[in-house]
């Protein structure tokens, strides 16, 4: 992996997401478990993991099919994460 400024922003973003989830869990413990469209119980952490994993696949698919302009993949990933946190 090439350590570029983009790579640093990527890892810093994941660290920021995890830090925000820690603060959220301290402020409102419990994670609000619920059963969504997948029909099993998920918490906020589970939904974050699913959204990060799905975003990685969206970006890999975009690189394979669409080229190296990843701004559209980022937009799709944000929409995907919002959908996961809303309905999963």
Q: Decide: 51 and 81 in contact? Cβ < 8 Å.
A: yes
Predicted confidence band at 53 (pLDDT cuts at 50, 70, 90)? very high
pLDDT at 69: 85
Residue 64 has pLDDT above 90, yes or no: yes
SS3 assignment, position 68: coil
CA distance 78 to 81: 5
CA distance 53 to 12: 16
Residue 50 has pLDDT above 70, yes or no: yes
User: With 0-12 CB in 10 A as exposed, 13-18 as middle and 19+ as buried, what is 48?
Assistant: buried
Residues 8-24 pLDDT 10s: 888 899 999 999 999 98
pLDDT above 70 covers a percentage of the chain that reads 98
Report domain extents, the chain. Answer: 5-87
6 — phi, psi (to 5°)? -65, -40
Q: Name the region of 21 (left: φ>0; alpha: ψ -120 to 50; beta: rest).
A: alpha
């Amino acid at each position: 992996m090439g350590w570029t400024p983009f790579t640093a922003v990527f890892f810093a973003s994941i660290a920021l997401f995890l830090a925000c989830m820690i603060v959220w869990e301290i402020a409102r413990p419990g994670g609000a478990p619920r059963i969504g469209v997948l029909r099993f119980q998920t918490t906020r952490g589970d939904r974050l993991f699913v959204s990060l994993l799905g975003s990685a696949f969206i970006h890999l698919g975009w690189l394979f099919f669409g080229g190296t302009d990843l701004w559209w993949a980022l937009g799709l990933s944000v929409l995907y994460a919002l959908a996961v946190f809303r309905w999963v």
